[in-house]
Amino acid sequence: MTERRLHETCAAFCRGQVQFGPPRTAEDVCGEISGRITRQDSRFHELRGLHGDLLKFPSEQKCADDSTDKKNLCSDRLVSARMATPLSKLGKLVQSEWQGEHLKVVEAWKEHPDGQDNPSSLHYEGRAAVVNVDISGDDVIKRLAELAVCSGFDYVRILETTDQVEVAVKGPGDPEMVDEEDILSKQMFDEAMNTADANDSSTECLEIEQLLNVGDTYPSGQWSENDVCGPLERPLYRADQNDMKRLYYYAFNDVEFTNEKGGTWCGVETRLCISCDAVNSTASWDWCSTRMMTPRLAIGLRIMAQTAGADGIEIKVLNGYLEDNEWTGHTDNISDLYRAGRGIMLTTTNENDTGKLAQHAICAGIDYVRYTNETYIEVFVLPQSDYQGKLVYDIDDQTYFEVNPPTTLNDDYKYPSILNDEDVKPLLIDGHNDQYTVYEYYKLADVKDPSNRYLRFDNGLLECLELVSDDFGTVVNIVHGSAYRTRSTNQINIDTRHSEEKWRFEAGQAVEIKPGKTTSDQALVRLATSIFRSCTTFLRLDLRGIGLGCHFDRLYLDVRPLIDGSEMEFITLWNADNTTYFDEIKMLKDALQKGGPAIAPINIGSTCNNIPLGEHMTYINFQFGQIESCAVKSRKDFCNKSRSAREKEVLQLQQRMTDTAGFDRLPRKEIIPDIEACLLHLCGGCPGAGLVWDEKIKACAPMIHKYIDKAARPFPELRNKASFFNTASPVSSVHSLACHDGNVCVESVQLHSILMPLVTSRFRPNATSSLEFMLFSSEQNPTPVLELVEQEMAYKASGKVNVFIEEDNDVSSLRQVLKVLMAYNKNVTEVEFHVAAKLDEDLVGSAIQRKIDVWSKNTCPNWSRFAIVPYTIHTIHPSRQKRSLKRSKSRNEARSRIHDWEMEWLIKLI
């Protein structure tokens, strides 16, 4: 952008933007003076002369002409260094607004009191001026005041009686002139510059990095400095105070600089060139342009000076920041990044060391190095927002730093004020090369407005889209123009959008997405399912949630902070276009918020492909493939001797199953092969592990499932009545609570009663001996039939389910049933855990949560619930547990006899 075009843009932007408040004096706003300055005063050096003819000075009719010696200048040409910058900028804006006109400085520094001014007037320190233009019109002075505000004056007032504008600036020590955070950042950077030294990594780099040859670049390849560091958005101007805040003045003498040459204006028509050696000022107006550069370039040069000096190489800076007069004649053969202070041209006192100098630049962290010719190299850096260089992304070897937009676009890229109080505020980055890949599936172009160079994007939202694409099975399509938006773009049609969809585009925290080129209600529901499943868990760890808006052909998605006290409301959902699929998504949202987490396996392929019992019994939950952990030497002899007894049990079980299933529902020929496969053909093995145990599950599960499928009433009414406890406990104090008072437990189920004679049956290997063995003992011939019945009951339950925990290991013992209830059964609305008073409720809750965390990552979502069922934990009152123990006396005695059957057998022999 040319300088004239820049000022035209700024002037246009200022139109109508200025609001003038109630009248106040310049001293009220900018502070009083320290004391009057005179030509003979020791403080006269604080004033700067305004040279050239950009500004007109009516007082020159009565005093000397323009001179290079400020002592001979007319007083109105003398101002403070802080005043010189906005006054020069205003002169440029006036030329852009009214071509051919000049800003007239009616009054500036006053060296003699005239008896009419306040003795503490800012004019006596050169911090105030009165200006106008030679144009008549009602709006001319108001427009001039608007341009003055945009020029950077701290105080602007229209003098209506004289059709003039009074302007003023604060003093250099005013605490309001700079932000405290900026001051601290600058101080920290100065400390780093003062202590910069070659570190171990730089030394190691020099040992590894190879020398460049003439014409080589770093990075190598067909890269230019614009490709790597980003092209120039617009030049920086000394007359713009905001521009100058982006540059750092390199005051160190560890490298040699080319001095500015006196005698012509430098950078700004009102500024006379001065020698670099004479500069000792904090005002950017006084700085030597050769020493002006961005902080990132300054720290790189400082490190180079340290490492190259240790290598005996002296560095000389040929070109640094180039201002307008220095740019003339360079446009065809020098990078325009010099105009932003992001490039310097370096040489050495010994031409043979130029290649080594390039090596030192690379190891100092310079982003782009070019060995231009035998005599010099050029180095360039990325833009960054401040002295600290906040790293935003470092993905696929691409580094992104926070940047500031051009000063004329500050308001358009400003962070939305309505979101200012949130902890996570995405930073602005330079998206000049929008083909860079961020993460696996998306490029900057996917989330960037093609008409704008800069963008914000929340890393959490990008990670969410990546995970959704993995889960959905294809890359989710971001609707063009619906990701990051500048303020002016976002304002388009903002009043017609849903209230939840107005501001997060400006923060880079919102997108509109589609599942593909064409959409359907079910595709959008599937997409929402993937979002809930993939994003909510990791976002909640950062105390963040999502917003989801349902449109007729797309979904609006954003990330947002959770509200204190409402952390469970981590999904905000709305129906933007009165869609028909909204209710389905709301059901998913309710399931996740009331329970959770969502079922989201780490490796969905291996998880969903591992279905040993087939798709019709995916909910049956055993750990297949476990190594046997018991001795099996005596099992073969036991199986041979028990075969006839098992054949008899097969027939008896078949008879009981056929009789209880209902008339002609389960004929003998239909069920007997399944019973034989379960009880007769398989024998031995270890309980809970091993090949034989796995085969028994695969054989017995179809038998149990077939009975349940064929029987007229395999289970009693289970809605809001199903209860579970550790049935393996021979003496239970919660049995009565689980199995009576309207509750139904597995021991109350008819199929359980049918199987009990089987699992407690005994046989005599020798008819002449009294020695007995359990036919299906865990030691010799374990069977999974009772566990299968319990899991089938868990899958048939609905509504609220009760689970009773009386011992520390009950959660572990019930884990398979609990997984069926909480991860697979879609008809369960809540699980209530009732915990014995002697147990620590928090420890039980932790044990449950550990199981849930595992289940959510190893369960196939194709057949499971969308999210883990919600649960609550309650403590059983000791009196209830005591009564239950008393009421369960008969059951416990019977179970104890089964458990201690060997003792019972020995007693019979006595």
Can you tell me whether residue 365 is helix, strand or coil? coil
Please report where in the chains the tokens 């050696």 appear, as a residue.
277
Structure tokens at 44: 């006269």
Please report where in the chains the tokens 């290598």 appear, as a residue.
311
Q: What is the pLDDT of residue 909?
A: 44
The model carries a pTM of 0.71
pLDDT band of 852, cuts 50, 70, 90: very high
376: closest CA among 394, 350, 403, 398?
350
Question: Angle, nearest 10°, between helix axes 81-97 and 140-151?
Answer: 130
pLDDT band of 511, cuts 50, 70, 90: very high
pLDDT band of 276, cuts 50, 70, 90: confident
Q: What is the pLDDT of residue 902?
A: 46
Once rounded to an integer, what is the mean pLDDT over residues 690-701? 94
Can you tell me whether residue 489 is helix, strand or coil? helix
Indicate the range of 441-450, 652-661, 814-823, 843-852 predicted with least confidence.
441-450
More confident residue, 659 or 246: 659
Indicate the range of 104-118, 267-281, 797-811 predicted with least confidence.
267-281
Indicate the range of 206-220, 351-365, 366-380 predicted with least confidence.
206-220
pLDDT > 70: percent of the chain: 89
Amino acid at 616: H
pLDDT at residue 669 greater than cutoff 60: yes
How many residues in total does the chain contain?
910
pLDDT at residue 71 greater than cutoff 90: no
pLDDT band of 605, cuts 50, 70, 90: confident
Structure tokens at 69: 């010696």
CB 576 within 8 A of CB 828: no
pLDDT band of 366, cuts 50, 70, 90: very high
pLDDT band of 583, cuts 50, 70, 90: very high
Provide φ and ψ at 611, rounded to 5°. Answer: -130, 75
Enclosing H/E stretch for 646: helix 635-661
Contacts of 31 (CB under 8 A, 6+ apart): 170, 171, 174
Q: What is the pLDDT of residue 572?
A: 95
CB 618 within 8 A of CB 860: yes
Once rounded to an integer, what is the mean pLDDT over residues 226-254? 87
Beta carbons within 10 angstroms of residue 541's beta carbon: 8
Tell me, yes or no, if the two domains 3-168 and 180-380 fold the same way. yes
Once rounded to an integer, what is the mean pLDDT over residues 249-265? 78
pLDDT at residue 571 greater than cutoff 60: yes
pLDDT at residue 177 greater than cutoff 50: no
Q: What is the pLDDT of residue 264?
A: 63
| Category of 625 on φ-ψ map: left (φ > 0), alpha (ψ -120 to 50) or beta | left
Residue 724 DSSP label? E
Report the DSSP pairing between strands 828-835 and 871-875. Answer: parallel
pLDDT band of 811, cuts 50, 70, 90: very high
Q: In what order do the strands lie in the sheet with 828-835?
A: 723-724, 799-805, 828-835, 871-875
Provide φ and ψ at 317, rounded to 5°. Answer: -95, 115
Q: What is the pLDDT of residue 801?
A: 97
pLDDT at residue 278 greater than cutoff 70: no
Q: What is the pLDDT of residue 906?
A: 43
Beta carbons within 10 angstroms of residue 384's beta carbon: 24
Indicate the range of 481-490, 661-670, 729-738, 759-768 predicted with least confidence.
759-768
Indicate the range of 297-301, 386-390, 467-471 predicted with least confidence.
386-390
The domain limits of the chain are 3-168, 180-380, 406-594, 615-899
User: What distance in Å separates the CA atoms of residue 93 and residue 7, rounded to the nearest whole number?
Assistant: 6
User: What distance in Å separates the CA atoms of residue 803 and residue 725, rounded to the nearest whole number?
Assistant: 6
CA distances from 616 to 403, 540, 706, 795 (A): 57, 34, 11, 12
pLDDT band of 734, cuts 50, 70, 90: very high
| Tens-digit pLDDT profile for residues 857-879 | 899 998 999 999 999 999 999 99
735: closest CA among 878, 838, 881, 841?
881
Q: What is the pLDDT of residue 176?
A: 45
CB 724 within 8 A of CB 803: yes
CB 412 within 8 A of CB 404: no
pLDDT band of 265, cuts 50, 70, 90: low
According to DSSP, the residues that pair with 167 across neighbouring strands are 129, 156
Q: Thinking of the domain 3-168, which architecture would CATH place it in?
A: 2-Layer Sandwich (3.30)
Amino acid at 494: I
User: What distance in Å separates the CA atoms of residue 384 and residue 318, rounded to the nearest whole number?
Assistant: 24
Q: What is the pLDDT of residue 725?
A: 96
Question: Angle, nearest 10°, between helix axes 878-887 and 889-899?
Answer: 70
Please report where in the chains the tokens 């910058």 appear, as a residue.
85
| Tens-digit pLDDT profile for residues 430-476 | 888 887 777 788 888 888 888 888 899 998 999 999 999 988 889 99
CB 596 within 8 A of CB 518: no
Q: What is the pLDDT of residue 1?
A: 43
pLDDT at residue 803 greater than cutoff 90: yes
pLDDT at residue 689 greater than cutoff 60: yes
User: What distance in Å separates the CA atoms of residue 842 and residue 860, rounded to the nearest whole number?
Assistant: 29
User: What distance in Å separates the CA atoms of residue 231 and residue 224, rounded to the nearest whole number?
Assistant: 10
Average pLDDT, the chain: 86
Calculate the CA 668 to chain-centre distance: 63
User: What distance in Å separates the CA atoms of residue 411 and residue 415, rounded to the nearest whole number?
Assistant: 9
More confident residue, 114 or 647: 647
User: What distance in Å separates the CA atoms of residue 292 and residue 244, rounded to the nearest whole number?
Assistant: 9
Once rounded to an integer, what is the mean pLDDT over residues 543-557? 95
Once rounded to an integer, what is the mean pLDDT over residues 515-527? 88
Helices first, then strands: H and E counts in the chain: 30, 32
pLDDT band of 380, cuts 50, 70, 90: very high
pLDDT at residue 899 greater than cutoff 70: no
4: closest CA among 203, 197, 234, 271?
234
Q: Thinking of the domain 180-380, which architecture would CATH place it in?
A: 2-Layer Sandwich (3.30)
User: What distance in Å separates the CA atoms of residue 149 and residue 144, rounded to the nearest whole number?
Assistant: 9
